[in-house]
Amino acid sequence: MRIVLGVTGGIAAYKAAELARALQERAHTVEVVMTAHAQEFVRPLTFAALTGQKVITGMFGSSTAEATLESAIEHIAVAQRCEALVVAPASADILAKFAHGIADDFLTTLYLAYAGPVVMAPAMNSNMWAHPATRANVEELRRRGVRLIEPAEGYLACGMIGPGRMSSIDEIVAAVEEVLRSQIARRHLEGQTVLITAGPTREPLDPVRYLSNRSSGRMGFALAEEALARGARVIIVAGPTALPPPPGAEVIRVETAAEMLQAVMDRLESATIIIKAAAVADFRPAHRSAQKLKKAAFPPALELEPTPDILAEIGRRKGTRFLVGFAAETGNLNEEAIRKLQAKNCDMVVANRVGRPGTGFDSEENEALIVTGQGEAIEFPRGSKRSLAARIFDCIYQLRLAHT
């Protein structure tokens, strides 16, 4: 794969030469971009000799005379052809510029034009690393998905001892390999059709009242967004929700469990992966009134009957399709996930913890346990529902890869 190695100013810049060689030894093509400050520590010729590639040192060529239209938009071409951007060493200056969208040289402009994975290995004085401004920049970059490798502790060039040394070459290479594997995984849904159920169902008692639950549909829509990002065709069967569906997904709106079952079965044949993330009401009123029930005539006891078990029905008819079930639980996540996995013929069950403030139903975050048919139990600590969606699809990729 093609990797762009960004080198910024600092005494650790000499280690970037070793990193370039280590990445090449793993069959990657390395293209180096140097900031002006980096060139004060290591000459571009060093990297040109190591990589056999042109070293980019400025936006418009090395002189005004060399400036051409091609060099003026080269950052776009580099962004389009590379599969990972690695910045090592990453100075406090580059962390700040990336975090705030400042584009005043080739590397910072490249970062804004690049949509792929970014790995950064900071190196600086301990006080600079600990400064609130740097900490804020680091957190912002992490929030955007940048992989930051914490600097190591040790003797620094300034004479201080503490955190600030660029992490080891082996650690950086391992992080790069991990994000590249993730990139491969992110393309694994091309040509696949993912059928997702989302949101609650409503089971009417009369024209104005119904039985339902607190589900907002956020988890199902987050799964749809992630599947679309990975190249899948996505079909969402959605219960009542106020959320806008992800652009690019085919959406079928339903209200009751029976309607959801019918919509799923009508589209089961075209699906290769089914994710049952909807929170289907388990019971419905045994008798539905055609007229609004008056308070004075309201029955003292409400007779209920079970709704169709959509997951079990899919499990009976799934064939070679990959089936993921969800279990909303307040406790015993592992036991309940295993029970549902076996009872419903799932390939994976995601048991998400509900009942805690800020997670689960009608919230932006989830806390979950992913249990697979291979006996794995993968903890997902509290995090965004989109992050959980990504983790679920990573697990699907690994399990399907193991069976090919």
- Size (the chain), residues: 404
Q: Which residues of 341-371 are buried (b: 16+ CB within 10 A; e: fewer)?
A: beebbbbbbbbbbbeeeebbbebebbbbbbb
**Which residues are within 8 A (CB) of 324 and not within 5 positions of it... i.e. 6 or more apart?**
273, 274, 275, 276, 277, 346, 347, 348, 349, 350, 392, 396
> Which residue is it, tokens 């806008």?
244
3-state secondary structure (DSSP) of residue 4: strand
Of 82, 158, 346, 395, the active-site residue reads: 158
Radius of gyration of the chain (CA): 26
Single out the residue of 85, 119, 89 nearest to residue 15, CA to CA: 89
CA–CA gap between residue 372 and residue 369 (Å, rounded): 10
Q: Is residue 158 annotated as a catalytic residue, yes or no? A: yes
Residue among 233, 215, 198 at smallest CA distance from 324: 198
Given the structure tokens 């029955």, which residue do they identify? 299
Positive or negative: CA dihedral 355, 356, 359, 363: positive
CA–CA distances in Å: residue 129 to residues 150, 154, 357: 10, 13, 34
Sign of the C-alpha dihedral computed for residues 267, 269, 274 and 280 taken in this order: positive
Kind and range of the H or E run holding 276:
strand 273-276
Question: At which residue do the structure tokens 């403030």 appear?
Answer: 357
Pairing of strands 210-211, 203-204: antiparallel
Residue 250: closest CA among 316, 315, 193: 193
Crossing angle of helices 13-25 and 169-185, in 10° steps, is 50
Strands 322-329, 273-276: pairing kind: parallel
SS (H, E, C) 28-90: CEEEEEECCCHHHCCCHHHHHHHHCCCCECCECECCHHHCCHHHHCHHHHHHHHCCEEEEEEE
Just list the catalytic residues.
Answer: 158
